[in-house]
Amino acid sequence: MEQHELKRLFDAREQRRHHLAHLPIEEKIRAVVRLQEMAAPILRNRGKAARCWKLETTGQG
């Protein structure tokens, strides 16, 4: 991999981290729940217990 391509990848990662850091807490929690939902089937297939948080819907967004 060329050096300028690595720099581009690292810069993109930094921009994504910056973007995620500035999301409202509600969006961050939704992201965590999505990750839990993605990981749960994998964990269950490995014989581990997996529970996902349940979010209340408030009629917004």
Where exactly are the structural domains of the chain? Answer: 23-49
- Max intra-chain CA distance, the chain: 48
Q: What is the CA radius of gyration of the chain?
A: 17
For residue 40, give the nearest of 52, 28, 31 by alpha carbon.
52
59 conformational bin, left if phi > 0, alpha if psi -120 to 50, beta if neither? left
Query: Nearest to residue 21, comparing CAs of 31, 33, 9?
Result: 31
The model carries a pTM of 0.70
Per-residue pLDDT of the chain (61 residues; tens, 9 = 90+): 799 999 999 999 999 999 999 999 999 999 999 999 999 999 999 999 999 999 987 765 5
Q: Which helix (H) or strand (E) holds 51?
A: none
Residue 25 pLDDT: 96
